[in-house]
Chain A
Amino acid sequence: MSKILEVNNLEIDFHTYAGEVHAIRNVSFDLEKGETLAIVGESGSGKSVTLRTIMGLLAKNGEVVNGEVLFNGEDILKKSNKELNDMRGNDISMIFQDPMTSLDPTMPIGKQVAEVLRIHNSVSKKSAMEEAARVLELVGIKDARNRLKDYPHQFSGGQRQRIVIAIAIINNPQILIADEPTTALDVTIQAQIIDLLKELQTKIDTSIIFITHDLGVVAGIADRVAVMYAGKIVEFGTVDEIFYNAQHPYTWGLLESMPTLETNTKRLHAIPGTPPSLLDPPVGDAFAPRNAYAMQIDTEQEPPFFQVSPTHKAATWLLHPDAPKVELPPEIARRREIWKKMNPETKKPQTTEKGAD
C-alpha cells in the first residue's frame, strides 16, 4: 500500500467582508493507491474546499495559512499555474455534482470528451475521437460512436453524468475526485453511477475521493471514511469502523438521523441546533453546543485525536481515559453489537492494538 496523496495540517481562511472565515482548521489525511475515501459532512463543513485545494482550484479570496498537500511527494500548493494545468484533468480529475451545468451546452459531447485528451497528449483529432467513443462506451453510453456529434441536451441526467465521468477518466487519472456526483440524480440512476465508478476503479486502477452527505452511498462505496464538522475531521476510520464502531457523538448523530427501512420509532433522532459560524469558531469542541454528551472540558479545550485502532481515530473527549462511561444511543448500541460479532476477540472498543480488516 503506497500513499498517493497526503494532506498535512491544512488550514485555509477566506477573506470576506464579514471577516476571516476559518473554513479549514488543521485537516490531515492520506489517500492510498486504489482505495476509495469518502468525506462526509454537511454543507459548510469544508469538504468541498478541501478537495478544491487539492485540485488547485481555491477561490481567489481563499488563503492557505498553513499545511501541505503532497501528491506523489510533491507539494501541490507550491506548483505554478502551468504545472497545475498539466496535473488537472490528467493526474487528478474531478467529477462535479451537477451534470446539467458541468457540460458545455454548445459543444458536441464527442468534442468535449476528446478535448481533455488532446490538451494533455499529442494525438490526432481522429484518434482522439476514436478514444472518446471507446471511453463513452466504457461508461455505458450505448452506440457512442454515432452519438459523438450530439449535444448535452439530447441526453438524460444520468447519461450526462456518465459523459462527465468519461471526461474525468479519459486520461486514466491517478486520483478521481467526485464531489457529490449522485446527489442530483434519482436513486435508480444513482445506484447505476455508483456501480459504474466501482467498476471503473478496478479497470483503470485509480484512487477515488468521494464527497457526499448520504451515508447510504458511503456504506456502498467507501473503503475508508473521514467525517468532517466545522472545518475539521472529527473521525476517521475504515468503513466498518465508522458504521459499526463510531466514537464521535457527531458521527452518532448522523447515523441516528438516517431512518433505515426498519426504523419504526415515533420520532427521528435529530441533531439539535445548527453548525457554528466559522467566522468565529467556538473555543473547545465545535460540536459541543449540539452534543448531548458534552462535558465541561468540551467548551474549554479542543479534543485531540484519540487512536482507537491503527486505522481509526476520533477527536472527542469521550475517549479520554478519565471520561465517564456514557450510555450509547440505541441505534449506535445496535451497531456496536454487529461490530462485536465481526470482531469477536476485541471486547473494549478503546483497545489500541486491533487488527484492521
Chain B
Amino acid sequence: MAEQKKEVLVSVKDLQQFFNLGKKDEVRAIQDITFDIYRGETLGLVGESGSGKTTTGRAIIRLYKPTSGEIMFNGKDIAKLKNGSKEMQEFRRETQMIFQDPYASLNPRMKVKDIIAEGIDIHHLAKNDKDRDEQVANLLELVGLNPDHATRYPHEFSGGQRQRIGIARALAVQPQFIIADEPISALDVSIQAQVVNLLKEIQEKRNLTYLFIAHDLSMVKYISDRIAVMHNGRLVELSTASEVYNHPLHPYTKSLLSAIPIPDPEVERKRRPQPYDSSMEEDGQKRTMVEITPEHFVYAAAGEVEGYKAAAAAYNA
C-alpha cells in the first residue's frame, strides 16, 4: 500500500452497461465507469441499491456482455472475449465470485464436496478422486470448517457456515481475483465479523485481489484499501479508504457518510444528516473522473474542479 509501484490487475475504462438497448425501456445501468484495481488490494464498491454496483461487478466478471468500454485483466481485454473460447475459460478460472445469499447460492441437492469441487472438475484441476477429495478437505480446513463434513448437504449448515462453503468454492480453482457481492449482508452481526476476518486472512495467504461490493459502509472501510462510491450508475468518488471517510469531496459521499448509524449514543445525538440533491448531476455538463489530490478522484465538470481542490486544501489546512 505504500508508495512503491503498484501493479494493475484489473483496469476498467469507460464501461457502459445498457439493458434493452434501443428499445423503449432502455436502462442505462452504468455509464463511464473507469477505475483500476491493483494486485493484492481490496477495492470497496459502495452505493445504494440501484446505483449499479452489482451490475459493475457482474459486467467485470463477464456475466453480462458490456455495451461498450474496456475491461483489461492481466493485460487482456475481457470485454471482447467470446463465450466458450479458451481465453474466456481461463479468465473464468482466474476470477471468482462470492454471492450475497448463502441460502440461494448453494445447490441444495448437491453434497458440499461436489459443490466445492465443481470448478475443480470443470477445469480438470484434480489428478484423480483422491486428489480431488484432498483438495476439498484442504479448502474446508482453510475456511474453518470440519473436513469430515464434506459429504453433508447445505441445509445441515448455518448461514455463516454456508457462506464459508461459498468461499471455499470460489477458492477451489485458485483464482487471482474475487468479486464479493455483499457477502456478509445476509449474516448475523456476530457472524459477519468472522467471515470478514476469514476473507482478510485468505487474502494474505493467497495474495488475492478483492472487489468488495457492499452497502454497509463501516464494514467496507474496515476491509478496503481503496473505496469507490457509486451513484446513479456512475462512479462519483474514488480514493483510499481513509481519504474517502475523512476527507470526502463529492456531496453524495458526504451525504452517504452522514447517514451511517454509529453504535454510540452520544455521537448519534449529535448526528446531522446531510441530504443530497441529485439534480446537480443533471445540468447537462460533461463530467469525468478528475484527480483532485494524488490518488483522490472525483466525478466533476471542468468548472467544479477548482471548488473541489479548494475543499481538499481546506481539509489539510
Q: Are A271 and B263 in contact (CB under 8 A)?
A: no
Q: Are B192 and A260 in contact (CB under 8 A)?
A: no
Q: Are A268 and B197 in contact (CB under 8 A)?
A: yes
Which of A42, A191, A215 is B188 in contact with, Cβ under 8 Å? Answer: A42
Q: Are B48 and A188 in contact (CB under 8 A)?
A: yes
Chain B: residues with Cβ within 8 Å of the partner, total of: 39
CB neighbours of A239 from chain B (8 A): 265
Q: How far is the CB of A266 from chain B (nearest CB, A)?
A: 8
Which of B49, B193, B200, B268 is A257 in contact with, Cβ under 8 Å? Answer: B193
Residue of B nearest to A258 (CB): B263
Q: How far is the CA of A157 from the CA of B48 in the complex (A)?
A: 12
Q: Say whether, besides A219-B263, A268-B197, A270-B197, A253 and B217 are in contact (CB < 8 Å).
A: no
Count class of interface residues, chain A: 35 or more
Q: How far is the CA of A216 from the CA of B256 in the complex (A)?
A: 15
Q: Which residues between 265 and 286 of chain A lie within 8 Å of chain B, taking CB atoms?
A: 267-272, 274
* B196 at the A interface (CB under 8 A): yes
Q: How far is the CB of B129 from chain A (nearest CB, A)?
A: 32
Q: How far is the CA of A338 from the CA of B262 in the complex (A)?
A: 15
Q: Are A217 and B190 in contact (CB under 8 A)?
A: no
Q: How far is the CA of A192 from the CA of B271 in the complex (A)?
A: 12
CB neighbours of B262 from chain A (8 A): 216, 219, 260-261
Q: How far is the CB of B135 from chain A (nearest CB, A)?
A: 26
Q: A-contacting residues of B (Cβ < 8 Å)?
A: 48-49, 158-161, 188-194, 196-197, 200, 215, 217-219, 221-222, 245, 255-256, 258-268, 271, 273, 276
Q: Are A186 and B49 in contact (CB under 8 A)?
A: yes
Residue of A nearest to B266 (CB): A338
Q: How far is the CA of A267 from the CA of B199 in the complex (A)?
A: 11
Q: How far is the CA of A328 from the CA of B175 in the complex (A)?
A: 40
Residue of B nearest to A255 (CB): B263
Residue of A nearest to B268 (CB): A220
CB neighbours of A48 from chain B (8 A): none
Q: Say whether, besides A258-B189, A259-B219, A259-B221, A187 and B263 are in contact (CB < 8 Å).
A: no
Q: Are A243 and B256 in contact (CB under 8 A)?
A: no
CB neighbours of B255 from chain A (8 A): 188
Q: How far is the CB of B230 from chain A (nearest CB, A)?
A: 12
Which of B190, B259, B261, B265 is A240 in contact with, Cβ under 8 Å? Answer: B265
Q: Are B191 and A274 in contact (CB under 8 A)?
A: yes
Q: Say whether, besides A259-B221, A259-B222, A274-B160, A268 and B263 are in contact (CB < 8 Å).
A: no
Q: Are B160 and A268 in contact (CB under 8 A)?
A: no
Q: Are B193 and A191 in contact (CB under 8 A)?
A: no
Q: Are A270 and B268 in contact (CB under 8 A)?
A: no
Q: Are B271 and A260 in contact (CB under 8 A)?
A: no
Q: How far is the CB of B102 from chain A (nearest CB, A)?
A: 13
Q: How far is the CB of A15 from chain B (nearest CB, A)?
A: 21
Q: How far is the CA of A223 from the CA of B29 in the complex (A)?
A: 42
Interface of A is mostly: helix
Residue of B nearest to A241 (CB): B265
CB neighbours of A253 from chain B (8 A): 190
Q: Say whether, besides A42-B189, A253-B190, A257-B190, A263 and B222 are in contact (CB < 8 Å).
A: yes
Q: Are A254 and B189 in contact (CB under 8 A)?
A: yes
Q: Say whether, besides A191-B259, A338-B266, A261 and B197 are in contact (CB < 8 Å).
A: no
Known contacts A217-B261, A219-B263, A268-B222; 10 additional CB pairs below 8 A are A187-B256, A190-B261, A219-B262, A220-B268, A240-B265, A243-B264, A259-B219, A260-B218, A261-B221, A270-B196
Q: How far is the CA of A191 from the CA of B256 in the complex (A)?
A: 10
Q: How far is the CB of A133 from chain B (nearest CB, A)?
A: 25
Which of B197, B258, B263 is A260 in contact with, Cβ under 8 Å? Answer: B263
Q: How far is the CB of B181 from chain A (nearest CB, A)?
A: 16
Q: Are B190 and A254 in contact (CB under 8 A)?
A: yes
Q: How far is the CA of A304 from the CA of B196 in the complex (A)?
A: 34
Q: Are A215 and B263 in contact (CB under 8 A)?
A: yes
Residue of A nearest to B262 (CB): A216
Q: How far is the CB of A135 from chain B (nearest CB, A)?
A: 23
Q: Say whether, besides A186-B48, A271-B193, A260 and B188 are in contact (CB < 8 Å).
A: no
Q: How far is the CA of A261 from the CA of B245 in the complex (A)?
A: 8
Q: Which residues between 170 and 202 of chain A lie within 8 Å of chain B, taking CB atoms?
A: 186-192, 194-195
* A43 at the B interface (CB under 8 A): yes
Enumerate the 6 nearest inter-chain pairs by beta-carbon distance, A residue then B residue, closest first: A216-B261, A270-B193, A186-B48, A42-B188, A215-B263, A257-B193
Q: Say whether, besides A186-B48, A263-B222, A274-B160, A218 and B191 are in contact (CB < 8 Å).
A: no
Query: 25 interchain pairs (CB within 8 A)?
Result: A42-B191, A43-B159, A188-B255, A188-B259, A188-B273, A194-B261, A195-B273, A215-B263, A216-B218, A216-B260, A216-B262, A216-B263, A216-B268, A218-B263, A219-B268, A243-B263, A243-B265, A255-B263, A258-B218, A259-B218, A261-B260, A263-B221, A268-B197, A270-B193, A274-B161
Q: Are A213 and B188 in contact (CB under 8 A)?
A: yes
Chain B proximity mask over A313-343: 1 for CB below 8 Å, otherwise 0: 0000000000000000000000000100000
Q: Which residues between 207 and 254 of chain A lie within 8 Å of chain B, taking CB atoms?
A: 213-220, 239-240, 243-244, 253-254
Q: Are A157 and B49 in contact (CB under 8 A)?
A: yes
CB neighbours of B192 from chain A (8 A): 257
CB neighbours of B196 from chain A (8 A): 268, 270
Q: Are B189 and A213 in contact (CB under 8 A)?
A: yes
Q: How far is the CA of A257 from the CA of B267 in the complex (A)?
A: 18
Residue of B nearest to A218 (CB): B263
